[in-house]
Amino acid sequence: MIGDPFAWVYEQLTALLLSLGMTAVWAQTTLRFLGAAVLATVLLVSTFFLIWGERKLLARLQDRLGPNRVGPWGMFQTVADFVKLIGKEIIVPTHADKAVYLLAPLLVVLSVIGIWAVVPLAPGVVGTDLEVGVLYIVGIGAVGTLGIMMAGWSSHNKYALIGAFRSVAQLVSYEVPMVLVLLVPVILASSMSLVGIVEAQAGMWFIVMAPVAALVYLITSIAENGRAPFDLLEGESEIVAGFNVEYSALAFGMFFVAEFLHSLTIGAVVATLFLGGWRGPGAEAYPLLGFIYFLLKTLAVWLVIVWIRGTLPRVRIDQMLGFNWKFLTPIALGILMLTALVDKLAAAAGWNRTLVLVLANGVALVVILGFVQGYARRQRRRDQAHPVSVEAAPAALL
Amino acid sequence: MEPLKLIFLVTGAVTLLSALMVVTARKLVHAALWLVLTLAAVSVLFVLLNAPFLAVVQVVIYIGAIAILIIFAVMLTRRSMEDTGPQTSRRWWLAGLIAVVLFAAIVLLVVSHPAVSAALPGAVPPDSVQQLGLGLVSVNAYVLPFELASVLLLAALIGASFVARPPEAAAEGGEE
């Protein structure tokens, strides 16, 4: 019981439900729904501390104190904000499409929480071991895009609509390299199930075998999250608040929660796909230890995401699209083919798989960095020859 | 009643009702959103049939790509969105009759098919995704249609980027 509280709780609850006169199948189904509800609630409540932690970290990065009034170290600042949001009125604009307008924030939150259904939290503890878990992550992300579009359209506001177009352009574009690099851990594990991918990392974490893919995945998921440096979904000077400009109170809070929870979710997915998930010394014997490892890895990736947000300036819309289509997509395609080829070659020739893949990734990194350096040099030379003129192109707003 | 049966009945009802709403909704965006619900419910049916790959692909392609494309197109044409005319034509009873006859014919055909009365194959093999993948690249199976589809998609991709290209960029010879 000490090492494996998950199985213990499950057995106790099953016994309780059976003693209430349920059949075994119904007890199992009830527990499934209960588990989903508990997981979703814990995640939503954890957002209180996520937002507080992110604000504190950002403040430290920017040489400020951050929230420090409510509770110890300002810990309950988010709770106070939440109470304020509850007290406000959810305003529906006059010509808005009410049902769609109110449904949109729920879909956005659903798309984030849904990912956790397939993430293995500890050995043997997973919502459902879906055979196609990686594809499911992509699919559930599409629901979020749909929600953003519904929010922008139903608000009956031009800024919201333009913001929604912009978001969809960003989200759909960055999905392309994201899906491509997601195939790299699938190739290495020869499994699409997240449990299978964690199991395949018993010998070596995939971040060692596929560092380029891990980096591209991190960048694209930050863009999918729409946070700095890719926070173009919001732009006070261009499109006001973007697709959620009309939302108030808890309806707005839902978008807010989804954004902050998404960064933790990215951490969990990166930890699972590239950092070995719950793997660590003694994790198999004591699942609780595995859960702690998983949490630490997730928080480490989350910290990097916050750090990036606090450090990098935001990109322009043309830079955002150019970076995706002219830089990340070719890299993702190249690294996918390289990994598949090198992995097969190594298996056929009997070489050390890790060593060969590290070498291949190193070569790829050198080539990419050389290309970036050359591009920057050419760009600088061009800028010196023709000083940049700011063109007011209305199309750039989209 | 078994929980799976209950879930199946609820999903079936949702599928039918939302499909009905697709054709009766007056606003085009609402119709598109009901279509999303229909397709999502169909993907739940795939899950119940032990076909998770088809279920997820259903979501990725139909909701992630096609439904978003439909809604995008509808959103860009704000004027022609609301249908105010009558929703049935004068000959609606004739159309209904033909639909019922066709549906009955399909049901009869399906029921008389030997596969319906045949015993269910045992459990679904655990590595069905792998078998599907092997089927797509194996010379004895579907490699030719698979490759033809890829070439078709590539042609569509090239065509789309050619159409989207602004004329002045073509004259300059592809300036970045």
Query: In A, which residues are within 8 Å of B71 by CB distance?
Result: 146, 149-150, 153
Tell me: do B3 and B71 sit in the same domain: yes
The token duo for A48 is 């209180």
**pLDDT at position B63:** 82
Cβ-defined contact of B129 to A100 (cutoff 8 Å): no
Q: Greater confidence, B76 or A76?
A: A76
The single-letter DSSP state of residue A58 is H
Say whether residue A26 is in contact with chain B using an 8 A CB cutoff. yes
- For B31, which residue in chain A has the nearest alpha carbon? A100
- For A191, which residue in chain B has the nearest alpha carbon? B130
Tell me: do B6 and B62 sit in the same domain: yes
**pLDDT at position A397:** 47
The token duo for B1 is 């009643």
Query: In B, which residues are within 8 Å of A25 by CB distance?
Result: 2-3
Tell me: do B71 and B135 sit in the same domain: no
Provide the shortest C-alpha distance from residue B49 to chain A (in Å): 14
Listed in sequence order, the DSSP H helices in A97-132 are 98-113
Q: Interior CA angle at A279 toward A296 and A273, to 5°? A: 80
Residue where a domain terminates, one of B80, B113, B137 = B80
Would you say A91 and A135 are in contact if contact means Cβ atoms under 8 Å apart?
Answer: no
- A235 phi and psi, to 5 degrees? -160, 100
Residue B116 forms part of a structural domain: no
CB B36: neighbour CB atoms within 10 A?
A: 23
Cis status of the peptide bond prior to A229, with omega within 30 of 0: yes
Tell me: do B10 and B74 sit in the same domain: yes
Residue B113 forms part of a structural domain: no
Cβ-defined contact of A142 to B30 (cutoff 8 Å): no
Query: What mean pLDDT is reported for chain A?
Result: 83
Answer whether residue A90 shows pLDDT above 60. yes
The mean pLDDT value for A237-263 works out to 82
The mean pLDDT value for A316-332 works out to 85
Provide the shortest C-alpha distance from residue A122 to chain B (in Å): 22
Rounded to whole angstroms, how far apart are CA atoms A46 and A25? Answer: 31
Say whether residue B72 is in contact with chain A using an 8 A CB cutoff. yes
The b-or-e profile of A239-268 (16+ CB within 10 A means b, else e) is bbbbbbbbbeebbbbbbbbbbbbbbbbbbb
Say whether residue B53 is in contact with chain A using an 8 A CB cutoff. yes
In this structure, of A220-224, A252-256, B25-29, the range with the lowest mean pLDDT score is B25-29
Cβ-defined contact of A138 to B64 (cutoff 8 Å): yes
Residue B31 forms part of a structural domain: yes
Tell me: do B14 and B69 sit in the same domain: yes
Tell me: do B65 and B135 sit in the same domain: no
Q: Interior CA angle at A266 toward A260 and A270, to 5°? A: 155
Say whether residue A161 is in contact with chain B using an 8 A CB cutoff. yes
Rounded to whole angstroms, how far apart are CA atoms A51 and A80? Answer: 12
Question: Quick one: CA torsion of B8, B10, B12, B13, rounded to 10 degrees?
Answer: 160
Cβ-defined contact of B53 to A135 (cutoff 8 Å): yes
Residue B104 forms part of a structural domain: no
In this structure, of A159-163, A330-334, A381-385, B81-85, the range with the lowest mean pLDDT score is B81-85
CB A26: neighbour CB atoms within 10 A?
A: 17
Band of the pLDDT at A217, cuts 50, 70, 90?
A: very high
Residue B88 forms part of a structural domain: no
Tell me: do B72 and B147 sit in the same domain: no
Tell me: do B2 and B59 sit in the same domain: yes
**pLDDT at position A236:** 67
Give the model confidence (pLDDT) of A118-136 as tens digits.
888 888 777 777 778 888 8
The single-letter DSSP state of residue A324 is I
Q: Which of A346, A347, A330 is nearest to A212 (CA)?
A: A330
**pLDDT at position B120:** 67
Residue B30 forms part of a structural domain: yes
**pTM beyond 0.90:** no
**pLDDT at position A204:** 82
Residue-number span of the structural domain to which B55 is assigned: 1-80
Cβ-defined contact of B59 to A142 (cutoff 8 Å): yes
CATH number of the domain enclosing B23? 1.20.120.1200
Name residue, tokens 């994790």: A283
Provide the shortest C-alpha distance from residue A63 to chain B (in Å): 39
Cβ-defined contact of A25 to B3 (cutoff 8 Å): yes
**pLDDT at position A3:** 62
Tell me: do B70 and B132 sit in the same domain: no
Provide the shortest C-alpha distance from residue B1 to chain A (in Å): 9
**pLDDT at position A49:** 86
**pLDDT at position B174:** 45
Provide the shortest C-alpha distance from residue B115 to chain A (in Å): 26
Residue B93 forms part of a structural domain: no
Would you say A110 and A143 are in contact if contact means Cβ atoms under 8 Å apart?
Answer: yes
Residue where a domain terminates, one of B19, B51, B80 = B80
Q: Which residues lie below 8 Å from residue B19, measured CB to CB, with a gap of 6+?
A: B34, B38
**pLDDT at position A100:** 84
Rounded to whole angstroms, how far apart are CA atoms B142 and B133? Answer: 10
Which of B29, B56, B81 should be substituted to probe chain A, the one whose Cβ sees the most A Cβ atoms within 10 Å? B56
Per-residue pLDDT of chain B (176 residues; tens, 9 = 90+): 677 888 889 999 999 999 998 888 887 778 888 888 899 899 888 888 878 888 888 888 888 888 788 877 777 776 556 667 777 778 888 999 999 999 999 999 888 887 777 766 666 666 677 777 788 888 787 888 888 999 999 999 899 888 888 776 555 544 44
Answer whether residue A103 shows pLDDT above 60. yes
SS (H, E, C) chain B: CCHHHHHHHHHHHHHHHHHHHHHHCCEHHHHHHHHHHHHHHHHHHHHHCCCHHHHHHHHHHHHHHHHHHHHHHHHHCCHHHECCCCCCCCCHHHHHHHHHHHHHHHHHHHHHCHHHHCCCCCCCCCCHHHHHHHHHHCCCCCHHHHHHHHHHHHHHHHHHHHHHCCHHHHHHCCCC
Would you say A364 and A212 are in contact if contact means Cβ atoms under 8 Å apart?
Answer: yes
In this structure, of A4-18, A95-109, B146-160, the range with the lowest mean pLDDT score is A4-18
Which of A97, A135, A173 should be substituted to probe chain B, the one whose Cβ sees the most B Cβ atoms within 10 Å? A135
Residue B86 forms part of a structural domain: no
Q: What is the tally of structural domains in chain B? A: 2
Query: Could you report the predicted ipTM of this complex, rounded to two decimals?
Result: 0.78
Helices A5-19 and A287-311: angle between axes, nearest 10 degrees: 120
Query: Looking at the partner chain, which of A132, A145, A322 has a beta carbon nearest the beta carbon of B56?
Result: A132
For the ranges A50-54, A93-97, A379-383, the one whose mean pLDDT is highest: A50-54
